[in-house]
């Protein structure tokens, strides 16, 4: 139960910081800012699904917490690598 509360608190803090960044920042709406916001939202989305899986696995295994956190960080890096490779090979072509 405590892990669920902590995950909701962390998610709320991430969303609140994104909202503050969008509302208090001087946004001009150019392509670079839209791209940065999109990248942040994609990474947060992948991180939430990955960390939910790691929380599920942590109850089933006897691994220590620092090993699970390290695996989560490595998993986020691998997801980002595959996303980057996909964009480089398939997407963002000049039309």
**Domain residue ranges in the chain:** 2-89
Say if pTM beats, i.e. exceeds, 0.75. no
pLDDT in tens, 24-78: 877 677 887 788 778 777 777 777 777 778 778 888 888 887 888 888 888 878 8
pLDDT at 16 > cutoff 80: yes
Backbone phi, psi, residue 8, to 5°: -70, -35
Q: What crossing angle do the helices spanning 65-89 and 31-60 adopt, rounded to 10°? A: 140
């Amino acid at each position: 139960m405590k892990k669920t509360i902590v995950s909701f608190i962390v998610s709320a803090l991430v969303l609140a910081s994104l909202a503050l960044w969008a509302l208090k920042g001087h946004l001009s709406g150019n392509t670079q800012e839209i791209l940065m916001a999109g990248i942040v939202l994609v990474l947060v989305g992948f991180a939430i699904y990955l960390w939910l899986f790691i929380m599920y696995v942590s109850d089933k295994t006897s691994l220590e917490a620092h090993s699970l956190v390290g695996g989560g960080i490595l998993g986020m890096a691998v997801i980002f690598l595959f996303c980057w490779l996909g964009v480089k090979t398939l997407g963002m072509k000049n039309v």
